[in-house]
Amino acid sequence: MMQLLNDPVAAVDRLRQIEARTHSSGVATAQATVDSVLAAVKERGDAALKEYTERFDGVVLDCLRVDPAATEAAWQSAPLALRDALQLAHRRISAFHREQLPQDIELKGPHGERLGRRWRPVNSAGLYVPGGRAAYPSTVLMNAIPAQVAGVKQVVMVTPPGPDGQVNPAVLAAAHVAGIDQIYSVGGAQAVAALAFGTESIPAVDVITGPGNLFVTLAKKSVYGRVGIDSLAGPSEVLVIADDSASAELVAADLLAQAEHDPLAAAILLTTSPRLVQEVPEAIAAQLEDHPRREVTEASIRDWGLMVLCESLEQAAQLSDRFAPEHLELLVQEPAALAERIQQAGAIFMGQHTPEAAGDYLAGPNHTLPTSGTARFAGALSVETFMRHTSLINFNRQALEATGAAIMELAAHEGLHSHRESVRRRLQS
């Protein structure tokens, strides 16, 4: 069951261990596999994709592209409740992301020069949607919508086939809602390679986004520079700060909601309540009975679960900021006030009526968030992920005369003769 600590120093050490849980000895071996996959796809294109799909997924594919008719059929056959949920999620996520569109900057300098910054979408984006034995229609929406709001002209989706060789119908239904018709039934590092290098079937793109397993993450890391990426996502994590007003049953449910993702998922409780320290483990045990993902969830709670009894909410906030969690829940009497104190978190969920699951599916903000402590310097997937900005500089004669001496002085001190000359010759002409 979950480890319990009441020593803040020991808690800091344990949080560091949890943050580093993905730095395993198997990474080097996985990287070697990824390198060989990238090289093979770059050299042999579709043939390599089909070979790896058969080897890793156990599926023989004649055609990599999913027929658009299959996407339409998946939508038409989807249960009405799922269709309604997908459409509601699409509306809410779209409305939030439209507010993210960055504004161009246009300034007039003191000497009449014009300065600016112009935003434009990338030409193409590749969306990786995990699949195989699980279905993540929410990932389709969370990746496709910001790309479309940004104005990306070509959006390509890749997702691994299931054991039957087909893409999960819920994923296809989400793709229908999002208006994606260029879908390829391929996953893993080979899919990332295809998006980066291009093959006979799959076009190369400018940006690759979407979560995946270790092999997908290492592949994205390897092709970064040739293409842009959103982030290097690790296993999911939640940190709950709770005071005595919180329900042990709800705290347990929220911890398990992260633990059921993956055996490496982390579920952490920082609380000022001795009662919760007693009741939450009991509630977890009760909710694990007959849990459909019990084996995965128990492994996560056992290996990466943690409870810390804190002296104050201030101490809890300090520990949270040290960890910089992907998801932070504030189950306290005054969550808004505590949220102001928090400096480092991917997303903050405030109050007893805001489970992290709301953010996963349809609240509006993106659910692709920084993990493993990277919330110290990174944020959620956004519209800007699919955009690039260009600086605009337009000097007139007056501006160059007013600043030229300073430019030449700086160039001289850097030992760059022609930099200086490019200004001097203009001023003398």
Tell me the C-alpha distance between 324 and 306, whole Å: 15
In the structure encoding, which two tokens stand for residue 21, read together? Answer: 């849980």
Spell out the domain ranges in the chain: 3-22+234-363, 27-229, 395-428
Report pLDDT digits (tens) over 86-101. Answer: 999 999 999 999 999 9
Report pLDDT digits (tens) over 298-330. Answer: 999 999 999 999 999 999 999 999 999 999 999
Length of the chain: 429
**Which residue did the predictor score with more confidence, 132 or 309?**
309
So what's the pLDDT on residue 132?
Answer: 67
DSSP letter assigned to residue 229 = E
What CA–CA distances, in Å, run from 7 to 13, 185, 270, 275, 304?
10, 50, 12, 18, 18
Report pLDDT digits (tens) over 3-58. Answer: 999 888 999 999 999 998 877 657 889 999 999 999 999 999 999 999 999 999 99
Q: Give CATH for domain 3-22+234-363.
A: 3.40.50.1980
As a whole number, mean pLDDT of residues 229-248 equals: 96
Tell me whether domains 3-22+234-363 and 27-229 share a fold: yes
- C-beta of residue 173 within 8 angstroms of C-beta of residue 137: yes
User: Does residue 134 have a pLDDT over 80?
Assistant: no
As a whole number, mean pLDDT of residues 198-209 equals: 98
The CATH topology of domain 27-229 is Rossmann fold (3.40.50)
So what's the pLDDT on residue 407?
Answer: 98
So what's the pLDDT on residue 429?
Answer: 86
As a whole number, mean pLDDT of residues 221-242 equals: 96
So what's the pLDDT on residue 424?
Answer: 98
So what's the pLDDT on residue 24?
Answer: 66
Give catalytic status of residue 326 as yes or no.
yes
So what's the pLDDT on residue 233?
Answer: 87
Report pLDDT digits (tens) over 143-193. Answer: 999 999 999 999 999 999 998 899 999 999 999 999 999 999 999 999 999
So what's the pLDDT on residue 23?
Answer: 73
How does the average pLDDT of the chain come out, rounded? 96
As a whole number, mean pLDDT of residues 115-135 equals: 92
Laid out side by side, the sheet with 305-309 consists of 3-5, 305-309, 266-271, 237-242, 327-331, 347-350
So what's the pLDDT on residue 22?
Answer: 78
Phi, psi of 356 (to 5 degrees): -60, -25
What CA–CA distances, in Å, run from 208 to 126, 219, 421?
5, 11, 42
As a whole number, mean pLDDT of residues 274-300 equals: 96
Residue 133 pLDDT grade (very low, low, confident, very high; cuts 50, 70, 90) = low
As a whole number, mean pLDDT of residues 192-204 equals: 98
Q: Which of 19, 237, 298, 326 is catalytic?
A: 326
Q: What is the pTM of this model?
A: 0.94
Q: Which of 327, 329, 356, 367 is catalytic?
A: 327
What CA–CA distances, in Å, run from 312 to 315, 336, 337?
5, 16, 14
Give catalytic status of residue 327 as yes or no.
yes
Tell me the C-alpha distance between 181 and 70, whole Å: 10
So what's the pLDDT on residue 25?
Answer: 56
